[in-house]
Structure 1
Amino acid sequence: MSAPTARVREMAIDEVPQGKSVAVHGIFQGIAEYYDRMNRVMTLGRHRRWCREVAELAAPPAGGSLLDLATGTGVIALEAAHAYPTVTVTGADFSERMLERAKAKPGADAVHWQLADAADLPFGDESFDAITEGYLLRNVEDLEGVLREQHRVLRRGGRIVILETSPPSGPAKPIVEWGLRTIVPLLGQVFSGDRSSYTYLESSTRAFESPGQVADLLIRLGFRDIGWRKKFFGTNVIMWATKAR
């Protein structure tokens, strides 16, 4: 299996993303060492199960190709490579340290790892049969532009599957918001010694779009058959959509 042909050069190792991305890049560089541990702690062990669900929902065809964006330490990409051994899986991220952690994991040789910016993907039009992503969208400056890039590189009839945090809603909203403001930064301090990065996680989650708002944007960009499942008191969501033929 060979990786999809690049449209432009891969992002150079010393290139720094601009604007908000500079701060976000620094956060993810800094938390790479304990990223998996914190995801397990904050979701009470559910994170890997959600990543497996994302890979299953992507459902690329045999012999096809799948792009895992914001691959981080590669959990979704490795689940996809395991589930679809005939599919070419590419894991892309803009954090060099995250990719280093991903490449060191068992089974990493089954994935093509690439340093790339989700706002300017180095792949040709309609390069992939499926796209997955984990915790990407709330961290980008131009949400519509990033989703438009994914629409561009996805083949017609292909599916995008998104794992993302979701702002609290419903009757439990005050309690969940209190947990995000108080418990998440505290866990960051206790388990990683890093309170500030997980304070950012709390604030970016509460400020992000609702699943319905993201769905409206996906429709405008040319996706259909959109749905979602909320997880863990509504603080996480798995969304999916298909590129219109």
Structure 2
Amino acid sequence: MTSDRTRRGKGTEVHGIFQKIAGYYDRMNFVMTLGRHEKWCQEVAARVAPAGGGQLLDLATGTGVIALEVARRYPTATVTGVDFSEEMLRRAKAKAGAEAVRWQQANAASLPFENESFDGITEGYLLRNVENVDGVLREQHRVLKPGGCLVILETCPPSGPVKPVVKWGMRVIVPLLGQVVARDRSSYTYLESSTRAFESPQSIAGVLRGLGFKDIGWRKKFFGTNVILWATKAN
């Protein structure tokens, strides 16, 4: 069993990495996905689709790409963007349109919101960086209203016939891009390894089902290395 001390150590390590990469996070996402990242964020925002505005929560908001798209797409909604990295939030707040979002620093494992506070939840690249995926998803289920939609953008371990090639490419190219574009090989070595070690969409779907979500689906992107999952909280 993992000790509390170990969990705190990992959390501190991940926090430090995201503090460090905030300045070139958007640029690296663009390069690593050949420009597709923004389009995926737009798809996440489109899928959350709240009825008549409402309260929307974007977790692991980072530099705010999804939160800002949600606010643009649903101007009558109240959008809250949450991240545990102060530096990421500072970058998000400096972007055009940032005044349309309520930015808040918080830990996704213990959200500072009442039960059933939100009509929809989005998140980008959160789950692979947490110690307890089940617990984090349980928190999202708690703060989501019945009938509300959860939409997740995540990395996905490669599978199928292209797995050896994609796995090699991720292991070699992602850290190399980190070195060339951001001059930070070590952070992107961690991010590459966390992608390969992460759960499959089928596994995440099983957790969501066990928590009481329904209408679960997903669509893989970019040679199966990224995935958008969606689910609805049962009434």
TM tier, smaller: over 0.9
Could you tell me how far apart the structure 2 residues matched to 1:216 and 1:131 are?
Answer: 18
> Does 2:84 correspond to 1:65?
no
What TM-score does the superposition give when structure 1 sets the normalisation length? 0.93
Q: Which residue of 228, 233, 241 maps to 2:223? A: 233
> Does 2:180 correspond to 1:197?
no
Q: Which residue of 110, 130, 146 maps to 1:120? A: 110
Residue in 1 that maps onto 2:9: 19
Please state whether the residue corresponding to 1:216 is helix, strand or coil.
helix
Q: Where does the alignment leave 5 or more consecutive residues of structure 1 unmatched?
A: 1-16
Given that residues 168 and 206 in structure 1 are in contact (C-alpha distance below 8 angstroms), is that contact kept between their aligned partners in structure 2? yes
Q: Spell out structure 1 runs of 4+ moving beyond 2 A.
A: none
| Number of aligned residues | 229
Q: Which residue of 178, 182, 185 maps to 2:172? A: 182
The residue identity in structure 2 corresponding to 1:187 is L
Could you tell me how far apart the structure 2 residues matched to 1:62 and 1:123 are?
Answer: 21
> For each residue in 1:187-220, what CA deviation from the matched residue of structure 2 results, as whole angstroms up to 9, or x when unmatched?
0000000001110111101110000000001000
Residue in 1 that maps onto 2:64: 74
The residue identity in structure 2 corresponding to 1:222 is G
Given that residues 185 and 195 in structure 1 are in contact (C-alpha distance below 8 angstroms), is that contact kept between their aligned partners in structure 2? yes
The aligned runs of 1:23-34 (5 Å cut-off) are 23-34=13-24
Q: Where does the alignment leave 5 or more consecutive residues of structure 2 unmatched?
A: 1-6
- The offset of 1:60, in angstroms, is 1.2
What TM-score does the superposition give when structure 2 sets the normalisation length? 0.96
Residue in 2 that maps onto 1:166: 156
Given that residues 135 and 165 in structure 1 are in contact (C-alpha distance below 8 angstroms), is that contact kept between their aligned partners in structure 2? yes
Could you tell me how far apart the structure 1 residues matched to 2:114 and 2:34 are?
Answer: 39
Could you tell me how far apart the structure 2 residues matched to 1:210 and 1:237 are?
Answer: 9
> For each residue in 1:200-244, what CA deviation from the matched residue of structure 2 results, as whole angstroms up to 9, or x when unmatched?
111101110000000001000110100000000000000000000
The CA RMSD measured in Å over matched residues stands at 0.7
Identity %, equivalent residues: 74
Could you tell me how far apart the structure 2 residues matched to 1:174 and 1:225 are?
Answer: 32
Please state whether the residue corresponding to 1:85 is helix, strand or coil.
coil
Residue in 1 that maps onto 2:197: 207
Could you tell me how far apart the structure 2 residues matched to 1:185 and 1:132 are?
Answer: 27
Q: Which residue of 58, 72, 75 maps to 1:85? A: 75
> For each residue in 1:172-201, what CA deviation from the matched residue of structure 2 results, as whole angstroms up to 9, or x when unmatched?
000000011000000000000000111011
The residue identity in structure 2 corresponding to 1:182 is V
Please state whether the residue corresponding to 1:141 is helix, strand or coil.
coil
- The offset of 1:119, in angstroms, is 0.2
- The offset of 1:125, in angstroms, is 0.2
- The offset of 1:62, in angstroms, is 1.5
Residue in 2 that maps onto 1:218: 208
- The offset of 1:19, in angstroms, is 3.2
